[in-house]
Amino acid sequence: MSVFFFPSLISVKNLETGRSTPGVKMFFGHEIVNVELLDEPNSGKATAMLPECTSAVEGNKQADTGPANCGPWRSPCVSLEGQLRAANSLKYSLSEKKEEENVEYTVVDCFQQKFGPAVLHLKQQCVVSIAGEGVNLCRHGKLSWLEIATERCIFLFDIFLLGPQAFKNGLQMVLEDKNILKVMHDCRWISDCLFHQYGVLLCNVFDTQVADALQFSVATGGFLPHRVCTLEECLMEHLKISSKWDAIMKCRQQMVSENPDIWFLRPFPASLLKALALKAMYLLLLHSSLMDNLMSDLTAVVHGYLNAYRTAPGDHLGSTKCFFMDI
């Protein structure tokens, strides 16, 4: 059950008393403990108790009845049955997707079926990667796509179609969750956009651009690079990814240069959707590689700590009292 919506139910019956509630009754999500299908007399078939619902923000406005009615800046809802069906389809494993051709992703362009299960899945994660696409991505620009990847799933949120309600109905909670690490590359622009346009205050971010510069500083004895690296440069440097990725990114850049407003074209080109999914997936892998490199010095010092006493003669350990050891 998603906690971001207030289901409004018709044909509600109290099973203990047998009484039916006339009209439409609205419930909070946490109030619904169990749902059963009623086989009403003379109906000839079972009647679902949850035929429609309205979003928490839109209140009693007309509910969206299907994916065909979804449009820009609308806030249709997630039915219980739709959430259960979609939850079973949230399957993806980075370890099983080594080849770019087989990358799998879920486009979330409507609040029905996909949005609720996607947010619930993200809320259960410790680490996610986040990237955004649009025109002039800052407080003065426009966000079109928000890509979020986990170890098993890649979600492409169509912000152009979902509108601000995407953040109010769950994404803001994920982005502001201090217990979820967000892996990003150059978070400055999207942070500015999310805060000023959607009121989202990003926190607990691992920036791969900063981590790459820090690693350079450690390797060179304190010097900083003359410029920060792009995501493509970091991927080539740390992951040694294949030339297929480079070809995909060149194709992406060419399409964007020919039409900067392509991010708002619907239906969206499948080749660009694939590029968005790969970008989010590789961000997670880049985070792992950078962490391994940044932690190598600490690991070496800890290794020395481990052997400080156990490999030395025991004569100087005559006392059980603790004492400080110079490093």
More confidently predicted of 283 and 25? 283
What residues contact residue 302 under an 8 Å CB cut-off, 6+ apart? none
Half-sphere exposure of 99 (CA within 13 A, CB side): 2
For the question of whether the overall pTM of this predicted structure is more than 0.75, the answer is no
Query: What is residue 10's DSSP assignment?
Result: S
* Beta pairing, strands 8-9 & 25-26: antiparallel
Tell me the domain boundaries of the chain.
Answer: 1-65, 89-298
Query: What are the CA-CA distances from residue 300 to residues 158, 213, 311, 326 (Å)?
Result: 45, 21, 16, 16
Return the SS3 of 267: coil
Q: What is the pLDDT of residues 95-137, one digit of tens each?
A: 344 444 578 999 999 998 899 999 999 999 999 999 999 999 9
Q: Of 6-15, 55-64, 181-190, which has the strongest mean pLDDT?
A: 181-190
8 A C-beta contact, residue 130 and residue 171: no
Q: What is the mean pLDDT of the chain?
A: 75
Under the banding of pLDDT at 50, 70 and 90, the label for residue 74 is very low
Q: Among the CATH numbers 3.30.420.10, 3.40.718.10, 3.40.50.300, 1.25.40.10, which is that of 89-298?
A: 3.30.420.10
For tokens 């087989």, name the residue: 102
